[in-house]
Amino acid sequence: MRFSDEQLQGPPNEYGRDLALESVYGITNSYVRNRKARVTLKAVSGQVESARRAGASESEIRARIQKGITDPPNFDRERVREIVQAFLL
């Protein structure tokens, strides 16, 4: 994962928030991409809670979840449905 100089020199809470949002995106992407992966819905929920504690707004979290479920070329529709029901409705 690469960060710009602006991100690295920003206030620590912004840096932590950005990392937490990237983690939300990554784990959501992993969850919908591969049913055999050991990523669970509980793990996704844990990353969302971490992002909230890091100061990310609900709209930022929802945007990263939305990006995470739409980016993978091969995804499991049932897992996408689970994510939408849990976090986007």
| Per-chain mean pLDDT for the chain | 85
Where does the pLDDT of residue 11 fall: very low under 50, low under 70, confident under 90, or very high at 90 and above?
Answer: low
Q: 2 vs 8, 19, 68, CA distance in Å?
A: 10, 11, 18
- C-beta of residue 44 within 8 angstroms of C-beta of residue 80: no
Q: What long-range pairs does 1-9 form, CB within 8 A, spacing at least 24?
A: none
**What average pLDDT does this structure show over 53-80?**
91
Q: d(Cα 89, Cα 76) in Å, to the nearest integer? A: 19
- C-beta of residue 75 within 8 angstroms of C-beta of residue 86: no
Top pLDDT among 13 and 70 is at 70
Give the pLDDT of residue 3.
Answer: 57
**What average pLDDT does this structure show over 36-52?**
89
Give the pLDDT of residue 15.
Answer: 74
Task: Extract the tokens encoding 24.
Answer: 């939300």
